[in-house]
Amino acid sequence: MDLDPELAALRPPGPFFALRTDPYGDPAGLPTLAAAYAPDGPDDPLTARVRLVAHRLRTPEPRVAASLAQQGLAARLWSVALGCAVLYGRLPELRPSLLRWDIEAAAPDDLWLTEVRPGPGDATTATATAALADAVLHGHLEPLGETLRAHYGIASGLLWGNAGSALAGAARELERWARANGRPETAARTRALAGELFAHPLLRTTGTRTGTTTGTAFRRRSCCLYYRVPGGGVCGDCCFPRPPAAPGASTAVPDKGDGAIG
């Protein structure tokens, strides 16, 4: 299936999969993700996003806000890339310089692809996993992680745990949608690609996948720090069965709310 100018096939599975493209207007003025990964001042887009997340979640800890901002962006990137690989059989170019970022918007209005053009190769062959890893792991999450570690001192294992959790969530939602809409081949393709991606060295140790039928259940080996948010708790895939001691934390499995912040 050829890529269409609006990437319309990404809309039915849900807003995290959808991606705004040029036919919807002019994204001029919005920063690129490339600018976010190479910040050059106190008002750079990544710092601004982390401040916004901290404000929305009422957390005084920049490290917590940075973790949740990264997880939210990882979820969007995995959803878009995995959705394209499964539904189109190929990826568009998703380089950071082509993706503009509205730091104040929720999914799907946070990311804007300025030009839809096919990426190298296709996602219907054995190269699919490599294409997804190149696009998301190496193209986005590695440079994003380097910047967050340098500016906020976040542990590498935590950030890769966020990446694994985001991938598992994207695969689970895409598979759920495919099964609900009578598309077993799409569900199987999603499950297979997720399994291959979790064999990648950067994701292999992020958590444990369980279930012989769904294949997308996931228990991570790290914590995203959401329990440190006032009124927060542990997520469904957290390594902790209950929140460690933290002021104001609850024991409930939370809804993180706004898709823009994880």
Asked whether residue 144 is assigned to any structural domain, the reply reads yes
Helix axes 62-87, 184-197, angle to 10 degrees: 130
Sequence-distant (6+) residues with CB within 8 A of 115 are 22, 93, 98
Does a structural domain hold residue 55? yes
The enclosing H or E element of 196 equals helix 184-197
pLDDT by position in tens, the chain (length 262):
789 999 999 999 999 999 999 766 677 789 999 999 997 766 799 999 999 999 999 999 999 999 999 999 999 999 999 999 999 999 999 999 999 999 999 888 899 999 999 987 655 556 889 999 999 999 999 999 999 999 999 999 999 999 999 999 999 999 999 999 999 999 999 999 999 999 999 999 998 887 644 456 888 989 998 889 998 888 888 888 777 765 554 444 444 433 333 3
Pairwise CA distance, residues 168 & 148, whole Å: 22
61-88 burial: b if 16+ Cβ within 10 Å, else e: ebbbbbbbbbbbbbbbbbbbbbbbbbbb
Closest CA to 140 of 66, 91, 70, 190: 70
Q: How many domains does the chain have?
A: 1
Asked if 116 contacts 3 with a C-beta cutoff of 8 angstroms, the reply is yes
Q: Say if 191 falls within a structural domain.
A: yes
Q: Which domain holds residue 214?
A: 8-222
Is 243 inside any structural domain? Answer: no
In a domain, 2, yes or no: no
| Whether the Cβ atoms of residue 29 and residue 114 lie closer than 8 Å to each other | no
Has residue 250 been placed in a domain?
no
